[in-house]
Amino acid sequence: MRGMNSACVDLIYLDPPFNSKANYAAPIGSKAAGAAFKDTWTLTDVDVEWINLIEAKHPALYRVLLAAMTPSDKAYLVYMSARLLEMHRILKPTGSIYLHCDWHIGHHLKLAMDAIFGKNCFRNEIIWHYRKWPTGKYAFQRNHDVLFFYGKSAKNDHTFNQLYMPRAASTLKRFGTGKIVSGHDKDGDRLPSVTEGESEGVRQDDVWEIGRVPPVKQIYLTQKPLELLRRVIRASSNPGDLILDPFCGCATTCVAAQDEGRQWAGIDISEKAAELVERRMRDELGMFTKPVHRTDIPGRTDLGKLPPYRTHAPALYGLQGGYCAGCNTHFEPRNLEVDHIIARAKGGTDHIDNLQLLCGNCNRVKGDRGMEYLRTKLQLPRAA
């Protein structure tokens, strides 16, 4: 995603690992046989540079990471936050994002989404309710997942197409398909409901009753039904829009987007993903044109030539209030140096988001290493 242009995607749906402390493998004999992923997390699974960047540039998000109760939860949130920050960047101002999760760590992800997209951009907590065989007897049956729906803008100018549910049989019998209108008389008493014109049905609510993929048809144990993705796509995009699934797994989003007349892009760590997308497109949609499969990192074309990184010093001085990002001592501008949070030798860019000001001593101690190393050397406490 770091190679994608900013504001280029209309809709993002992601169904990431849930931090369920389990490992998953595609069933033998399925189209994805041989593919697997682990949903257990440790701090060795994340790059410490992600933590450094989040701490330096996103203090509200960093506080969410600090609130994680276990090292596994923290590692998972760092992994997700680094990707969600990129999703925010590449989403258009009129775009939306749906984050699919469940009870394992959804409460932490909601806080992370609030910190990244903004609490005022939250639109719905959608409940996907399904039925399955009962398990356990000491708690209520867990029969739903959650989709956190956010717009990129807080001004309600995101794409949204109203969806409708069919009316209850009793309502149809009484009112038919007309639009139901009711009101009150001058004394405040309720008037009988009447119908006028035609209605498309009842506005879709935030509890979606959609069956799970039957086990015999599953490609992955975590596979989501096409109808779920179709509903998301129809509500929050228009024909021709670009849909991104950064955890495209068994290709359900790609198939649904293609079938709904949208452009799409999928990203997945599994080498099986591209093969699976191609097979499902052929088997389910009769599409024989091969999707473009890239394994290289695309190059952004929206940045132009970045100015020399040291020219950002005045702006960084204002952002940091004149304090060194290492020892937190106040200095005059001439005594602070521009530093790359993630060193260029490790993939960091000259963009201002990857820059900070350090005093001369802190800059030389840190070198091309991360802020964790600097704090250890200076015996500084972690930022709160």
Query: C-alpha distances in angstroms, 231 versus 117, 121, 128, 205, 209?
Result: 22, 20, 11, 12, 12
Mean pLDDT of 202-225: 90
Q: Which CATH architecture fits 9-163+204-285? A: 3-Layer(aba) Sandwich (3.40)
Q: What one-character DSSP code corresponds to residue 222?
A: T
Q: Which residue has the higher pLDDT, 188 or 42?
A: 42
pLDDT band at 181 (very low <50, low <70, confident <90, very high): low
pTM of structure: 0.81
- φ, ψ of residue 163 in degrees (nearest 5): -105, 160
DSSP 186: T
Query: What pLDDT score does 226 carry?
Result: 96
User: Shortest CA distance to 222 belongs to which of 252, 198, 181?
Assistant: 252
Tell me the sheet residues that pair with 340: 355
Q: Answer whether residue 165 shows pLDDT above 80.
A: yes
Contact in structure between 40 and 30 (CB atoms under 8 Å): no
Question: What does the pLDDT read at residue 125?
Answer: 98
Checking if the pLDDT of 182 tops 70, the result is no
> How many other C-beta atoms can be found within 10 angstroms of the C-beta atom of residue 337?
18
Domain with CATH 3.40.50.150 in the chain: 9-163+204-285
* Single-letter code of the amino acid located at 31: K
Residue pLDDT, tens place only, 219-231: 878 899 999 999 9
Domain 309-378 CATH (choose: 1.10.30.50, 3.30.70.330, 1.10.3720.10, 3.30.1300.10): 1.10.30.50
Q: How is residue 129 written in tokens?
A: 């309710």
Is the pLDDT confidence value at 376 over 90? no
Who has greater pLDDT, 161 or 298?
161
Q: Which residue has the higher pLDDT, 288 or 247?
A: 247
Percent of the chain with pLDDT over 70: 86
Q: What average pLDDT does this structure show over 358-383?
A: 86
DSSP letter for each residue of 261-282 = T-EEEE--S-TTHHHHHHHHHH
User: What is residue 201's predicted lDDT score, i.e. its pLDDT?
Assistant: 75
The three-class DSSP label of residue 339 is strand
Residue 99's region, left for phi above 0, alpha for psi from -120 to 50, else beta, is beta
Q: Where in the chain is the domain with CATH 1.10.30.50?
A: 309-378
Question: Mean pLDDT over residues 255-281, rounded?
Answer: 91
Output the pLDDT for position 18.
77
pLDDT at 50: 86
- The rounded distance, in Å, linking the Cα atoms of 172 and 12 is 36
DSSP 209-234: E-PPPPGGG-SSTTPPPHHHHHHHHH
Tell me the pLDDT tens digit for each residue of 44-62.
778 778 888 898 889 999 9
User: Is the predicted pLDDT of residue 26 greater than 70, yes or no?
Assistant: no
Contact 380, 361 (CB under 8 A): no
CA nearest to 346, candidates 356, 354, 338, 358? 354
Cα–Cα distance, 295 to 217 (Å, whole number): 29
Q: Is 231 helix (H, G, I), strand (E, B) or coil?
A: helix
Confidence band for 196, pLDDT divided at 50, 70 and 90 = very low
- Of 275, 227, 274, 268, nearest in space to 248 by CA: 268
Over range 274-287, report the average pLDDT: 89
Q: Of all residues in the chain, what percent carry a pLDDT higher than 90?
A: 55
Rg (CA), the chain: 25
Mean pLDDT of the chain: 87
Residue 196: CB atoms within 10 Å:
9
d(Cα 115, Cα 91) in Å, to the nearest integer?
16
Beta bridge partner(s), residue 150: 97, 122
Which pLDDT score, from 0 to 100, does residue 192 have?
64
